[in-house]
């Protein structure tokens, strides 16, 4: 088996999925990485920028730029916690919660369309194989990130 072809196919599939999701999100004025950040903030209340970068498996500088955009668009707010002068904690604004909800519905449409040609068993097998592949990659030095 040609592993380069497998890796290239995974890359192409990821790019195609991102493009389809971004197309659905465009009218909300966000993209799929920004939607992921909103989702991570919702799932991890009072999270810091550094922790978000680890969760999203991106460089801190990349996360900082993304958060600046989300804050400028009033989708998130940053606040210091009483007794912690060093860290700023990130929370969703009411508008951020609304965009997350609407974006989630639009992404589900993409998932519904893309999964129609696959049976439940195929989807479960694909998810398990992708999870195993990810775990193998995470064990490689330098490929670690938080889940």
Q: Would 140 be classed as within a structural domain?
A: yes
Tens-level pLDDT at each residue, the chain (147 residues): 666 788 889 999 999 999 999 999 999 999 999 999 999 999 998 899 999 999 998 999 999 999 999 999 999 999 887 777 778 899 999 999 999 999 999 999 988 888 888 888 998 999 999 999 888 888 886 655 554
Residues 78 and 139 in one domain: no
The whole-number pLDDT of residue 117 equals 82
The whole-number pLDDT of residue 147 equals 46
Range of 130's domain? 119-147
* CATH number of the domain enclosing 95: 1.10.10.10
32-43 and 94-115 helices, crossing angle to 10°: 120
Residues 97 and 47 in one domain: yes
Residues 34 and 77 in one domain: yes
Among candidate residues 80, 81, 99, 95, the one with its CA nearest the CA of residue 29: 99
- The pair phi, psi for residue 85, each rounded to 5°, is -80, -15
Give burial (CB, 10 Å; 0-12/13-18/19+) of 66.
buried
Residues 71 and 136 in one domain: no
Residues 73 and 93 in one domain: yes
Residues 85 and 137 in one domain: no
Q: Which residues contact 104 (CB under 8 A, 6 or more apart)?
A: 35, 39
């Amino acid at each position: 088996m040609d592993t380069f072809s497998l890796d290239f196919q995974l890359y192409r599939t990821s790019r195609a999925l991102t493009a389809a999701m971004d197309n659905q999100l465009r009218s909300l004025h966000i993209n799929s990485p920004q939607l992921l950040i909103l989702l991570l903030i919702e799932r991890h209340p009072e999270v810091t920028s550094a922790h978000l970068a680890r969760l999203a498996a991106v460089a801190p500088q990349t996360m900082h730029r993304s958060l600046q955009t989300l804050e400028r668009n009033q989708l998130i707010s940053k606040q210091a916690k009483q007794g912690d002068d060093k860290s700023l904690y990130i929370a969703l604004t009411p508008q951020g919660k609304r965009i997350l909800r609407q974006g989630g519905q639009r992404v589900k449409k993409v998932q519904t369309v893309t999964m129609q040609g696959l049976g439940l068993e195929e989807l479960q097998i694909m998810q398990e194989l992708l999870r195993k592949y990810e775990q193998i990659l995470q064990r490689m030095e330098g490929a670690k990130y938080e889940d």
